[in-house]
Amino acid sequence: MNAVKYLPDEYDAKGQLRLPFLFWLLLLLLARTWILLVMAGASRQQGNDLLALFYPDRQAFWLGLALGAPALTGLLLTGYRARWPRLWQAWRWVLALSLAVNLAWQGATFASGNLLASPWPLLLTLFDGLALLWLLANARLRDCFLPEQQLAE
């Protein structure tokens, strides 16, 4: 006898397991540089000041955009989970790699002593570490990346 793993309410109209709310927050956390770029573009006069406040080093800004690109692609892929199932399955590991590289970069920046003036980088590093643990350990999120056939077994 097969036990029901998820209730019918936890599936969307396409029959796919709904993504957890924290997954959307994880994508926003990873795409934070892109969000800052949009905010700077929306506030025309203070845009440069806003970017300089969060990213005084231009190289860090470009690296932040590169590390946020997998999250933006993940946002787009959520609508195509059934159409590109193999790409969707692999995207969990792409996001985990992006978070791990982000943590390594922040660790190297902390080791050089550049980010210790403010508590925000330390807080973001903590959130990145928690997001990586949750991405790898959460069973429901792991099931969201499985094809429907494997989930039904």
User: What pLDDT, in 10s, does the model give residues 105-146?
Assistant: 888 887 877 655 667 778 888 999 999 999 999 999 999 888
pLDDT above 60 (res 15): yes
Q: Is residue 32 part of a domain?
A: yes
What is each CA distance from 39 to 44, 46, 121, in whole angstroms? Answer: 9, 10, 19
For 34: left if phi > 0, alpha if psi spans -120 to 50, otherwise beta; the answer is: alpha
Which pLDDT does position 60 carry in this prediction? 81
Can you give the residue range of the structural domain that contains 50?
A: 16-152
Please count the structural domains in the chain: 1
Q: Is residue 1 part of a domain?
A: no
CB-side neighbour CA atoms (13 Å) of 93:
5
Q: Is residue 88 part of a domain?
A: yes
Which pLDDT does position 110 carry in this prediction? 79
Q: What is the pLDDT of residues 30-81, one digit of tens each?
A: 999 898 888 888 887 777 777 777 776 778 888 889 999 999 999 999 988 8
Q: Which residues contact 56 (CB under 8 A, 6 or more apart)?
A: none
Residue 11: strand, helix, or coil? strand
Q: Is residue 5 part of a domain?
A: no
The model carries a pTM of 0.85
